[in-house]
Amino acid sequence: MSQESENTTEGGGVAKRILGVLDGSFLTRDNVLNNIPFLLFLFGIGIFYIGNSHYGEGTVIGMERLNREIKELRSEFISTRSELMFVSKQSEVAKSVANMGIYESVVPPKKIVITADEKPEN
């Protein structure tokens, strides 16, 4: 036989095997026991695929949960920061310490200037 005819018969054999797998006729032959490792391999790949998709979905759900938590914490941070800014205003601090007897000075501060000839020597 020539090399071309060997390639075509070999290719036809592969095509018959693929068609046999697709239509399930390879299970009806006498050599079903020879195909068990292949079936177990396909079963293992299927289990791996299902587990991998389950793990991926769990990861996506976890990421969505964390994103929701980040949004909630960010809004809590913003509201707490605005409350702190309001409470730390000078007028609000003056109101809150007034009941302790501490009042805001109404006399403006005076600047003390020391000239070189007035400096005390140590």
Q: Model pTM greater than 0.75? A: no
Per-residue pLDDT tens for 76-113? 999 999 999 999 998 888 888 888 988 888 899 899 88
What value does the CA radius of gyration of the chain take, rounded to a whole number of Å? Answer: 42
Cβ–Cβ < 8 Å for 35, 27: yes
Q: Within a 13 Å sphere around the CA of 96, how many CA atoms are in the beta-carbon half?
A: 8
Cα distance between residue 44 and residue 104, in whole Å: 79
Rounded Cα distance, 69 and 64, in Å: 9
Write out pLDDT tens, residues 13-72. 888 888 887 887 777 766 677 778 888 999 999 999 999 999 999 999 999 999 999 999
Q: Among residues 77, 80, 100, which one has the least CA distance to residue 88?
A: 80
